[in-house]
A and B are shown apart, each in its own frame.
Chain A
Amino acid sequence: MSDMEIPYTVAARPDTGLNNGKIGIWLFLASEVMLFGALFASYILLRTGATEWPHGSHYLNVPLATLNTIVLISSSVTMVMAWYSLKIDNFTKFRLYMAATVGFGAVFLVVKYFEYSAKFHHGYFPKTNTFLAIYFTMTGLHMLHVLGGMAVNAYLWGPGAKLWKKDKAHFTNRVENSGLFWHFVDLVWIFLFPVLYLL
Chain B
Amino acid sequence: MSDSHAADLKKHVRIYILVFVSLMVLTLVTVAVSYLHLPVHQAIGVALLIASVKGSLVACYFMHLISEKKLILWVMLLTVVFFIVLLLLPVFTTADRIRI
A–B Cβ pairs within 8 angstroms, 25 of them: A17-B71, A18-B69, A26-B75, A34-B82, A41-B90, A45-B93, A48-B94, A48-B100, A62-B34, A76-B20, A76-B58, A76-B62, A77-B16, A79-B62, A81-B13, A84-B9, A176-B1, A180-B63, A183-B63, A186-B58, A187-B59, A194-B51, A195-B51, A198-B34, A199-B40
The answer to the question of A133 belonging to the interface, with a C-beta cut-off of 8 Å to chain B, is: no
The answer to the question of A54 belonging to the interface, with a C-beta cut-off of 8 Å to chain B, is: no
When distances are taken between beta carbons in the complex, the residues of chain B under 8 Å from A194 are: 30, 34, 47-48, 50-51
When distances are taken between beta carbons in the complex, the residues of chain B under 8 Å from A40 are: 86-87
When distances are taken between beta carbons in the complex, the residues of chain B under 8 Å from A69 are: 27
When distances are taken between beta carbons in the complex, the residues of chain A under 8 Å from B82 are: 34, 37
What number of residue pairs across chains A and B have CB atoms under 8 A from each other? 132
Whether B87 contacts A47 by the Cβ 8 Å rule is: no
When distances are taken between beta carbons in the complex, the residues of chain A under 8 Å from B24 are: 70, 73
The size of the chain B interface, using a CB distance under 8 A, is: 51
Whether A73 contacts B27 by the Cβ 8 Å rule is: yes
When distances are taken between beta carbons in the complex, the residues of chain B under 8 Å from A74 are: 20
A97 to B45, CA, bound (A): 36
User: Taking chain A's interface residues, is the majority helix, strand, or loop, or is none over half, making it mixed?
Assistant: helix
Q: A33-B83, A76-B20, A194-B51 are in contact. List 5 more A-B contacts (CB 8 A).
A: A47-B100, A70-B24, A73-B27, A81-B13, A183-B63
Whether A37 contacts B86 by the Cβ 8 Å rule is: yes
Chain B residues packing against A (C-beta within 8 Å): 1, 3, 6, 9, 12-13, 16-17, 19-20, 23-24, 27-28, 30-31, 33-34, 40, 43-44, 47-48, 50-51, 54-55, 58-59, 62-63, 69, 71-72, 75-76, 78-80, 82-83, 86-87, 89-91, 93-94, 98-100
Whether B91 contacts A30 by the Cβ 8 Å rule is: no
When distances are taken between beta carbons in the complex, the residues of chain A under 8 Å from B28 are: 66
